[in-house]
Structure 1
Amino acid sequence: MSKELLYVFGTTGCGKTSCIKQPRLNYPVFEVTGHGRLEFADLVGHLTIKDGNMAFEHGPLALAMQYGAILLLNEIDLTSPEIAAGLNSVLDGSLLYIAENGGEIIPPHPMFRFVATKNTNDGGDNTGL
C-alpha cells in the first residue's frame, strides 16, 4: 500500500481544515480535534450500550480505514505521545487490530488517507498573536 499522508501547518484561520474538507474534492472526511485528554480508543472506537446490549462503536480512524475516507486530525501537537505511538503502525500501512471488538482486524482501504494539521511547524508562533 502506498502511504498517502499529509501534514499541513499554518496560522490560525488560514484555511488548513477547510482546504481538506473542500466539498469539490468529493472525499468523505472524519474530523477529530486533538487535545490533552484524547485517547487512542477515541480514534479506534469503544464499547457502548445499544438497546440494552453491549456493542462496539467504531471510531473515526476505524471508519476512515474501512470506507476509504480521510481522517483529519486537527491540532495534532495537542495530543499525547501515546496517540502518535498508536498511529505509528497505521501510518506505515499496517492493519488496525481492535482487541476490544473480538480481535477485529481492519485492513486499510486503498483510498484511506491521513491528514494532520497544527498551527506551527515546531518553531513557535512568530506572529505575536
Structure 2
Amino acid sequence: MLSYYLGIEVRQGKETPMLGHSAYASKLLERSGLAECKPCVTLMEEWLKLMKASTTAKVDATLYRSIVDGLRYLVHMRLDIAFIMGYVSRFMEGPREDHWATVKRLLCYVKGTVDQGIIFPKTGGSGLLLTVFSDANMAGDIDG
C-alpha cells in the first residue's frame, strides 16, 4: 500500500484517501525550536498589520527565511495557511521581531493541526466537487 510519494504522506481511510505533510511539519517545528510549543487554534491575530518599516528589533534573517521557505513547502498540502504565508513572505528582506512573532504563531497553529491535509472524498460517481473560498485584502496592505 502506498504511504509516501515524493515526500507526501498518503493515508488510506475506509472511504477517503488523504494527502498530508505531518512528518515534515514536525521536523520543521523541531528546526525552529518550537517542537514543544503550545498549539494555537487561530492562524493570526485579528486585524494584524505588519510593516516593512517596523521599529522592533531585527531578527536572524537566515533563520527567518529558512523557516518561511519550509512553511511555503507545507502550503502545498495545507491551503489554510496560504494567506498568512503570502503575508509573512513580504518581510524576507529585513525581518523584525514582530514579523518573527507572527511566524512563530503560525508554527504553533501548525503544531495544533499537524495531522491535517487534503482529503479526497468519494462522491458516489458524480465526479469531484471542488469548492473554493477566497478572502483577498489588498486594501489592508499598508506598504503599498
TM-score, normalised with respect to structure 2: 0.27
Name the structure where helix makes up a greater proportion of residues.
2
Name the structure where strand makes up a greater proportion of residues.
1
TM-score, normalised with respect to structure 1: 0.29
State which structure, 1 or 2, has the greater radius of gyration over its C-alpha atoms: 2
